[in-house]
Structure 1
Amino acid sequence: MTNNDLALIDEVIATLKRLRERVAKAAEPEPAPDVADADDDFAPGNLIELPVAAQRFEVSKDKLRRWCRDYGIGVLQGGRWMVSIPRIRRHIGR
């Protein structure tokens, strides 16, 4: 093994360390929205259609409709329920 080989190994190890740091940073969870900022729960980026929410959170569509009416986890837009992701997470404790 030559000095060039050792230098190459050191370079590869340094590159792998940088890659590991980038992957770890990308895998960090996004901070949860502040509960006090409830008005933002209905921002367009926080809303998904009811059938999508039912599948994603493994809840029946009928139960979600009831929660939208009774607990305010969703809003009607154009005759369709749009479910607030932050509100449903708080409601089901996820």
Structure 2
Amino acid sequence: MTKFGDIIGIDKPVLIDFYADWSDSEPSLQTLRDVAAALGDKAKVIKIDIRKNQILAEALRVKGNPTFIIYKNGEMKWRQTGEQDANTLIGLVKQFF
């Protein structure tokens, strides 16, 4: 299993969607697919289920659903709780290329 530090420690932006599986909706999943397709290999897009990763969610103080966080080189660059559209997320991630 990959460690969280290895995931966020890369030199390109990593967008993480912390979500709960009981509220995972198809529109949210499609939004992340659109973001990943638009960014290609310039960034990583990852979903993490907060119910299956409670220790990590608590350590990062993830309280809302969804919570989006952008990391680069292991450092948190941006964080927002609440739904976001694909264009907003793409623009945010591009700031950290």
Give the TM-score range, shorter chain.
under 0.3
Q: Which has the larger radius of gyration?
A: 1
- Length-normalised TM-score, structure 2: 0.24
Structure with larger RCO (C-alpha < 8 A, sep 6+): 2
Give TM-score scaled by structure 1 length. Answer: 0.25
Q: Which has the higher strand share?
A: 2
Task: Write 1 or 2 for the structure with the bigger share of helix.
Answer: 1
